[in-house]
Structure 1
Amino acid sequence: MQNDMPDAAQKAEELSRLIHKSKSGKKWRWIIGGIVLAAIAAAVFLKLTAEPEPRAWVTEPIKRGDLQLTATATGDLKPKRTVTIGAETSGQILSVEVKANDTVSKGQVLLRFDTEALDNKLLQANAALASARANVRGAQASLEAATLEHERTATLAEKDMASRSALDQRRAEKLRALATLEANRASVARAQAEVAAAKTQLSKATITSPIDGVVMTQNVEGGNTVASTLQTPELFVLAEDLSQMELHIEVDEADIGLVEPGQPATFNVDAWPGRAFEAEVSTVSLSPTVEQNVVTYTVELSVDNSERLLRPGMTATATITTGTNENVLLAPNAALRFSPPSEDGAEKSGGFSLSRRRPSPRAAKAAKSLWVLRDGEPTEVPVNIGPSDGRFTEVTPTEGAQLEDGAPIILREQKNKKGAPTPGSKKPSQASKTSDSEDPKKPTRPTKKTAEGDENGAQDRGPK
C-alpha cells in the first residue's frame, strides 16, 4: 500500500497540470486535491490500525553453572637463576674451554689466562718472604748479643767495676735489638701476605663454573686481552638448569587482589601455537610498577620445562585461575548487549505506541537488562552483572524482577535469508524509495548491488 502512494501522487500531479491548462482547471484542481488528500488520509489510517506482523527472535535458555574466574597477563620466560661470570684479573686469555649452549657442571674450567706474569709475581713474593725470614734470624742474634752485654755490665756495676752510664748504654742496645726483631717479624708477615695474594691472583687466572647449568652467552675468545682495572668485564652468562624456569608476568591492579601463591595457571607461546603449558603462581610482588599511569604488579609462575621446549626470553600469555563461582545464573554476553529495535511510532508520537512489548521498571542500581521472550513478546528483566569469563557473565535479578532457570533470553532478532529483518520491520531501502518518488523532476540514480546481488529499484520507478 505504501509503495502505491508515490505512483498515485505522480499521476494526480500530471492530471492536475493537464486540467490547469483548460478553462475550468481551477474547479478541477480543488476536486483532484480533495481526492488526493482523502487517499493519503486513508493510507495513514490503514497503516496505524493495521496489526503489526510478529517478529522472530534468536533465543537461548539461561542456565545455571560454575563460572571459572581468571586473570590474564603477558610476560616472558626466565631461568630460575642466572650468573654473570667476570674476570678479577687482567691479562691475555690463553684458552676458552666452553662455548654458548654448552652444559657445564660446578667447578668445570671455563677459561684460562696466560699466567707467565703471575708466576713471576709469585716468585718475587716468595723471595721477599725468604729475605724477611733471614732478617728475623739476624735480629734474633743481635738481640741475644745485646742481652749478654747488658747482663755482664750489670754484674760489673754491682761490684763498682762499671759505671752507671755504661749499664744504661747496654740496656738501650738490648731494646734496639728487640725492636729490630719485631720489625723483621712484621716484614715476614707482610711477605707472607704478598705470597698469598700472588697465589690468589694465580688461581683467578683459571675461571670455573659456580653452578650446574648452561652457557647462555660467551663474550670472549682465546687471545683477547682483558683489563679489569676499572670495571669487571663480563665473560660468560650462565643459567641454572633449564628444566625448571620462571614466567614473570605483569598483572593489572584490577586483578591482582584475586591472585595468590599456589593458584594454577596455563600459558601459550608463539613458538608452540595451540599448545597450553601448565604453571603455578609462586610469588606475588608487593611493589607496583607504574608505566604511563598504568599500575601493574609482577607475578612469578613456576614452570616445568622437563621437555626443554621453552627457552629464556619467550613471550607468553598466561591465564591464572583465581577461583570458581558455583551454581550461578550464566547469561551469554550477546544477550547483555541486545536491545529490541523501537517500533514505528514509539517515542515519536508523544507516548502513543502500537507495540505490545512489556517493559519492566529498571532498578536504580541495575547495570544491564536481559530481554526474556514471554508469550511471544520481549520482556525486559533488570539484572546486576558479576564476573565474566569472556563468553558468559554471572547475572542476578534485581529486587522485584523474576528470571527463571531455563527462561529463553533473546540474543538478537531473527533475520531472513537476504539479511533483512523478518516481516513487520521496516526495510532500510523503503525510505530512500519514497523520497525519490516525491519529486518527479528529481533525477534518480541506481545504487550499487548488495552482498546478495539485489539492486535498488528506484531508477525503474522514476519519472518516465
Structure 2
Amino acid sequence: MRGKWLLFAGGTLFLAAGGGALTYYLRQKPAKSVQVASAPALPPGTEVHLTGSIRAVNLVQVAAPLDGVAEEFPVKPGDEVFEGQILGRVANETLKETAHEAELEVERAQAKVNEAESQLIAARLEDSRAAADASRARIEFQRAERNYQRQQMLNTEGATPRNTYQKAQQDYEAAKKESDTLQSLSNTLQDRVQGVIKDIDLAKKTLAEKIQNLDSAKTSLSSADLLAPADGLVISIGKSAGEEVHKGMPDLITIATDLSQLELVLEPEPPVFKRLKAGQPAVVLIAELPGNGLPATVKSVENGKVVVEFSSPSTLVRPGMTAVGTLKLN
C-alpha cells in the first residue's frame, strides 16, 4: 500500500513539472509575423484631382536703382499697373542734399543776374543822360567856337571892341571845357555799360552751369523712382517702407506681364507623383471660371512638384489663386 502512494505522488510531481515547462516554452517562443496585404494600386488611367496654386510664367523684376531707404509704396500686390507708373521710391539723403544745394546755387546765380541787369538799366539811364548833356555841350561849344573865330578875325582887323572879343574867347574856353568834361563822363559811362554787359554775360553763363547741375541732381533724384517697365500685375514687393535697400537688389518688386500664360503648381503624394510625367495632358478647374475646365499640359515633374501650364482666356484668373488640376495616372 505504501508503494502505491509513492508511485502516485511521483506521477503527480512529473505532470506538474511538465506542465510548467510547457507553459514557459510557449511564453518564450516568438509569435509568428502576420503579413498584411497592401491596398491594391490604382489602375492606369485613374483620374486624380490635386489642389494647387496658380503662378505667372512671364515675370519682370524691378531692381533698386541705388542704395537708400524704401519710402511708401503707392501700389500693393494684386494691383494692375501701366508702363512708366511710379511703383515706389528709394530715399537717398545724399541725393536730396545735393539737389537742395543745387537749388540754392541756382537761386544765388539768378540773384546775381538780376542784380547785374538792374545795374545795366541804371547805367544805361545814366549814360543816356550823360550823352544828352555831352551833345548839348558839344553844340554849345561849336556855337561858341564859331563866335570866337568870328570875333578873333574882327579883332585882328580892329573891327570889334576888345571886350566883345575877350567875352567870346571866355565863352569859347568855358564851352570847350564843359564839352570835354561831359564827353569824358559819357565815355566813362559807356565803358561802364559795356562792363556791366560783360558781367551779365558771365553771370548768365554761371547761371546756366548751375541750372545744368540742378537738372543733373534732379535726374539723379528722379532715378530713385521705381517705375513699372511694362503693363502688368504686381506679384510681390520685397521690402516695406522704412527698410534699407541696396542698389541692384533684383526682386524689390515683381510684376507679371502676361496673364494669359499661367502655371498651376501641384504637390502630390509620392505614390501619385511617381506615376505622372511631363507632356501628359491635364485639365485645370478654376472656381471663378464656369465650365469643364481649361486644357493644360504637364510642363515638369521634379523635386516633388508637378507644374501644369495652361492658357487663361480671362483676366479674372490671377496668380495666387487656388485651382484644381485633374490628371490621369500612368
Tell me the TM-score range normalised by the shorter chain. 0.3 to 0.5
- The alignment's TM-score, normalised by the length of structure 2, stands at 0.41
* TM-score normalised by the chain length of structure 1: 0.31
Higher relative contact order, structure no. (Cα contacts within 8 Å, ≥ 6 residues apart):
2
